[in-house]
A and B are shown apart, each in its own frame.
Chain A
Amino acid sequence: NAGVTQTPKFRILKIGQSMTLQCTQDMNHNYMYWYRQDPGMGLKLIYYSVGAGITDKGEVPNGYNVSRSTTEDFPLRLELAAPSQTSVYFCASGSNRVWAEAFFGQGTRLTVV
């Protein structure tokens, strides 16, 4: 079972560059989430989506954009990368059932230099 797949696993960006973090899930989940986790810290919600075509901001959306054209895919776009965006990024998905657990990808370690 693939579950939630994130690519790439590691990336180094130069200041001002842009990139897209890919996230795909094969569980037909309506809900998808993007988080960032700074070293030794908790997960901060960047954006989330309740279904194809619907996205909403989380706690720390500045500097990021998302789209949700299909149920399976939820890419995260970084425009004009800054050192403050150095972090580990996690994608997660969940069903409509509030009690259901969320499933996480393995994370993408991003360094901006």
Chain B
Amino acid sequence: AQTVTQSQPEMSVQEAETVTLSCTYDTSESDYYLFWYKQPPSRQMILVIRQEAYKQQNATENRFSVNFQKAAKSFSLKISDSQLGDAAMYFCAYRSGAQGAQKLVFGQGTRLTINP
């Protein structure tokens, strides 16, 4: 079974600085996608960024980028120029590419605090 582990329950960063959130996963599959979701206090789940396992190039979305290390099964999220609105729970997620079995599995989450 696929598992996702986020080893940092809480992180904090000064506004305008850079922070990296860690995520590791375990799978025997070769076809999958990885995602980072943000959950603000409203409980809404918001997609931040996604990465295809077959792509070596790391995904980037504005101030958000990932460091995808497939051999190490690591998928960290870097937030540059942190803003107060980035404060939220961040979840790493894995989705299998196997047809008919595309479970979406989440990690435990990291609570990110932005200090003004």
Contacts and interface: CB of A to CB of B under 8 A. Distances in A.
Chain B: interface secondary structure?
A: loop
Interface string A80-113: 0000000010101010101101101011000000
Interface residues of B, number: 29
B43 A98 contact: no
Interface stretch (A10-18, A20-28, A37-45, A69-77): A37-45
Chain A: interface secondary structure?
A: strand
Contact of B106 (A42, A56, A96): A42
Contacts of A58: 103
Interface stretch (B14-22, B31-39, B80-88): B31-39
A33 B105 CA distance: 10
A88 B9 CA distance: 19
A106 B44 contact: yes
Counting chain A residues whose Cβ lies within 8 A of the other chain, the interface size class is 20 to 34
Given A99-B50, A104-B44, A42 B102 contact: no
Given A104-B45, A107-B43, A99 B102 contact: no
Interface of A: 31, 33, 35, 40-45, 48, 50, 54, 56, 58-59, 88, 90, 92, 94, 96, 98-99, 101-102, 104, 106-107
12 contacts: A33-B103, A33-B104, A40-B9, A42-B106, A42-B107, A42-B109, A50-B101, A92-B104, A94-B104, A96-B99, A98-B95, A101-B47
